[in-house]
Amino acid sequence: MSVKLGCIADDFTGATDLAGLLARSGVPVSLRIGLPAEPPETAETAPFEVIALKCRTAPVADAVAETRAALDWLRRAGAERFFWKYCSTFDSTAEGNIGPVAEALMVDLGTDQTIYCPAFPENGRSIYMGNLFVGQVPLAESPMKDHPLTPMRDSNLMRLLAPQVSGAVGLADRLTIARGASAVRERLAALKADGTPHVIVDAVADEDLANIAEAVQDWPLITGGSALAMPLPGLYKASGQLAADVESGDRPKLGTGSIVLSGSCSAMTRQQVAQYLQFAQGYRLDPLMLAKEGADAALDWLKAQDPDAPKIIYATAEPEDVKAAQAELGVAQAGEIVEAALAGLACAARDMGISRFVSAGGETSGAVTKALGVARLTIGAEIAPGVPWTFARSEGRDIALALKSGNFGSVDFFATAFEKLEVS
Ligand code: ADP
């Protein structure tokens, strides 16, 4: 199918989130991990194509080069409109990369204005008078102020964006946005006439995002969080650019078997693992043991399990245990050992014929998908906000993957995920 919207996301779980929100409308969505090796001319494409990059904190020149290459791929695949997706907390360093990438894409597309709207009201991210709020607190007072890679110390998006771009930065504020799409269009046109290429757009509710999306649906480039893209499939259907009855294709026939692989130690994942262990068989990975003896014991355990029975292999641990392992092995090394073990176990599970995988942890999910050799995912039913089931091919087999980062999902996420897969 021809590509209607080409999306480029600056990290993997953010791309999954975007793909999941687009797929809520029932349209086919395809997610590619990294710049596709396959030429776009021969690739099987969906109306909504998302390319997941890993460039949020890359050097500016690398981020610009990667996103331009992704843009080129999507254009050659037939896309004429594009979405540059970043985090709803505008995660970026003072050098970029949100602004520099947007400017480079604008040049390539020959367009002289774009908008920036990271708001995600459903998840408590709202923008008012250019200031980004996380729940009830300004961004700079939220836990994002202490983020290890992208500490956000200012809540004002105009001030955050200005040093990242060469052109002027303006604002379309909530008072305008709430008046509807034509008011938004007028404001953007006035800013354009004034020579303002970069416009921060307020949004505090989904209705605001609907007004904004309606106003800019035909623009070559829109930038923002995943929520801004959510109304686009419906708008494309309403305007006849997308067939009203377009539906995601049949999901592949899966074999038997399921497994949960958890390398996330986030608070919610710890509760989810404890809950699932009440009725699933479980194997706990200890990083210190893995460092000494490798993953053979875990592999033997896995092979002795009934492929169909609920089971979980987890390194998920309480903060004091994580700290103890990190003190002994080093932070990066402890993480890598666990990721490598879970990735190897995922491949072993696939080779046993297991075809349903839930992976918990952003980094963990990256390692698992990479090991499974998955380059493209098609998006299925949503399990929890931001976490859809996805389908992929691995070593010639059809598999289903749910990739859950840190604090996503509720306590019964793992059991719910498998139930949703059966009824979807
Ligand atoms: P989240 O999405 O919750 O942040 P990630 O998978 O992104 O989860 O990150 C968790 C990191 O912690 C991974 O690198 C993982 O390998 C590592 N890890 C998991 N369990 C342990 C443990 N018991 N001790 C030390 N590190 C661990």
pTM summary value:
0.87
Q: Answer yes or no: is pLDDT of 22 > 70.
A: yes
> Ligand 1 site: residues with CB under 6 angstroms?
263-266, 269, 287, 315, 317, 321-322, 325-326, 334-335, 338-339, 361-364, 405-406
Residue nearest to atom 24 of ligand 1 (CA): 322
Helices 319-329 & 331-351 angle (0-180, nearest 10): 110
CA separation for the pair 229, 223 (Å, rounded): 9
- pLDDT, mean of residues 80-84: 97
Judge contact between 345 and 382, C-beta under 8 A. Answer: no
- What's the confidence (pLDDT) of residue 115? 98
pLDDT band per the 50, 70, 90 thresholds, residue 406: confident
Residue nearest to atom 25 of ligand 1 (CA): 322
CA separation for the pair 67, 7 (Å, rounded): 10
- pLDDT, mean of residues 255-284: 95
CA separation for the pair 142, 136 (Å, rounded): 9
- What's the confidence (pLDDT) of residue 1? 76
pLDDT band per the 50, 70, 90 thresholds, residue 266: confident
Atom of ligand 1 nearest to the CA of 367: 6
Atom of ligand 1 nearest to the CA of 263: 19
List the one residue out of 125, 212, 122 whose CA is nearest residue 172: 212
3-state secondary structure 305-371: CCCCCCEEEECCCCHHHHHHHHHHHCHHHHHHHHHHHHHHHHHHHHHCCCCEEEEECHHHHHHHHHH
Q: 330 C-alpha vs ligand 1 centroid, how far in Å?
A: 13
- pLDDT, mean of residues 19-29: 92
Atom of ligand 1 nearest to the CA of 322: 24
Cis? peptide before 211, omega within 30° of 0: no
Q: Which residue has the higher pLDDT, 202 or 404?
A: 202
Query: How big is the CA angle at 124 (ends 122 and 126), to the nearest 5 degrees?
Result: 100
pLDDT band per the 50, 70, 90 thresholds, residue 300: very high
List the one residue out of 299, 372, 3, 285 whose CA is nearest residue 403: 372
Q: In testing the pocket of ligand 1, which one of 289, 331, 363 has its CB within 8 Å of the most ligand atoms?
A: 363
Residue recorded with tokens 């520099």? 100
Q: Answer yes or no: is pLDDT of 407 > 80.
A: no
Q: Residue 74, SS3? A: helix
CA separation for the pair 379, 361 (Å, rounded): 19
CA separation for the pair 279, 311 (Å, rounded): 9
DSSP notation for 25-63: TT--EEEEESS-SS-TTTS---SEEEEE---TTS-HHHH
Q: Answer yes or no: is pLDDT of 423 > 80.
A: no
Return the structure tokens found at 293: 């003896």
Which backbone phi and psi does 157 adopt, to 5 degrees? -65, -30
Q: 315 C-alpha vs ligand 1 centroid, how far in Å?
A: 8
Q: 265 C-alpha vs ligand 1 centroid, how far in Å?
A: 6
Cross-strand pairs, 356: 258, 400
Residue recorded with tokens 């609907």? 210
Of the chain, the end-to-end C-alpha distance in Å amounts to 23
- pLDDT, mean of residues 12-30: 91
CA separation for the pair 118, 121 (Å, rounded): 10
Q: Answer yes or no: is pLDDT of 260 > 70.
A: yes
- What's the confidence (pLDDT) of residue 424? 63
CA separation for the pair 337, 340 (Å, rounded): 5
CA separation for the pair 396, 82 (Å, rounded): 32
Q: 369 C-alpha vs ligand 1 centroid, how far in Å?
A: 16
Q: Residue 162, SS3? A: helix
pLDDT above 90: percentage of residues in the chain: 83
pLDDT winner (highest mean) among 14-23, 73-82, 92-101, 355-364: 73-82
147 vs 118, 127, 144, 317, CA distance in Å? 18, 20, 5, 21
- What's the confidence (pLDDT) of residue 332? 87
CA separation for the pair 87, 131 (Å, rounded): 15
Return the structure tokens found at 298: 């875990």
What's the pLDDT tens digit per position in 118-177? 999 998 999 999 999 999 999 999 988 887 778 899 999 999 999 999 999 999 999 999
- Please provide the average confidence, as pLDDT, over all residues in the chain: 94
Residue recorded with tokens 């696939």? 350
Q: Answer yes or no: is pLDDT of 247 > 90.
A: no
Atom of ligand 1 nearest to the CA of 266: 3
Q: Which residue has the higher pLDDT, 366 or 190?
A: 190
Atom of ligand 1 nearest to the CA of 329: 25
Judge contact between 343 and 367, C-beta under 8 A. Answer: yes
388 membership: H or E segment, kind and range: strand 387-394
What's the pLDDT tens digit per position in 350-397? 999 999 999 998 889 989 999 999 999 999 989 988 889 999 999 999
CA separation for the pair 416, 310 (Å, rounded): 12
Residue nearest to atom 5 of ligand 1 (CA): 361
- What's the confidence (pLDDT) of residue 13? 82
